[in-house]
Amino acid sequence: MELANRLFFRLYQCANMLHKTGTRAVESLGLTTQQWAVLGALSRPEVPDGMSVGDLARYLMVSRQNLSGLIGRMERDGHIASAPDGRDRRSRRITMTEHGRAVWHREAVPRIHDYYAQALDEFSTGDMTHTLHYLLKLLDNMKRIDEAAGGPPDGESEGERADDGHARQGA
């Protein structure tokens, strides 16, 4: 149990440091790590027409309530737009604006890649591959715990794994 406690505490610390240091990497662009995750998710080639709010929430593994405030701020800042979803008028579809795309590709992605290089300093390709493997195993176990507690079943969103856009697109 002691080893499990240490592991989860280190994950907690890493999540907090990702938020703190990651936000610092993009804050001069008016972005936070949460906003970079949204832009990264929307920049993926498999979602050229954006995502519904529900799919985006499932993909990022956050509540709709938490995403709602974030979407409002990002709309206000001109990074994203929301409109009625053509597939389901009760739902809103979130897309990246031209301004959001420009900020993302020209400014945010290079800074995020620099941040990754610093955060992963002295990690070999093997280290990164093994870490990703174990994090995905842990994530799958946590999804099963969530489903057993009544959370949505896996696979309902437009992206199977929340790391899809992050690794390729810098989110």
Question: How confident is the model over 54-113, as pLDDT tens digits?
Answer: 999 999 999 999 999 999 999 999 999 999 988 777 889 999 999 999 999 999 999 999
Domain count, the chain: 1
- Say yes or no to pLDDT of 140 above 80: yes
- Say yes or no to pLDDT of 156 above 80: no
- Say yes or no to pLDDT of 169 above 90: no
At 90 the pLDDT is 82
Token pair listed for 139:
């994530």
As a whole number of angstroms, the distance between CA 63 and CA 148 comes to 17
At 91 the pLDDT is 86
pTM metric for this prediction: 0.85
Q: Which residues contact 169 (CB under 8 A, 6 or more apart)?
A: 40, 43, 44, 109
As a whole number of angstroms, the distance between CA 126 and CA 85 comes to 42
At 104 the pLDDT is 98
> What is the identity of the amino acid at 153?
P
- Say yes or no to pLDDT of 168 above 50: no
As a whole number of angstroms, the distance between CA 33 and CA 115 comes to 12
Closest CA to 157 of 69, 80, 54: 54
Q: How many CB atoms lie within 10 A of CB 45?
A: 8
DSSP assignment string, 25-79: HHGGGT--HHHHHHHHHHTSTT-TT-EEHHHHHHHHT--HHHHHHHHHHHHHTTS
The domain that holds 99 is classified in CATH as 1.10.10.10
Question: How confident is the model over 13-25, as pLDDT tens digits?
Answer: 999 999 999 999 9
Q: Which residue has the tokens 């597939």?
A: 87
Question: How confident is the model over 2-14, as pLDDT tens digits?
Answer: 999 999 999 999 9
67: domain range? 2-169
As a whole number of angstroms, the distance between CA 14 and CA 84 comes to 37
**The residue count for the chain:** 171
Pairing of strands 51-52, 80-84: unpaired
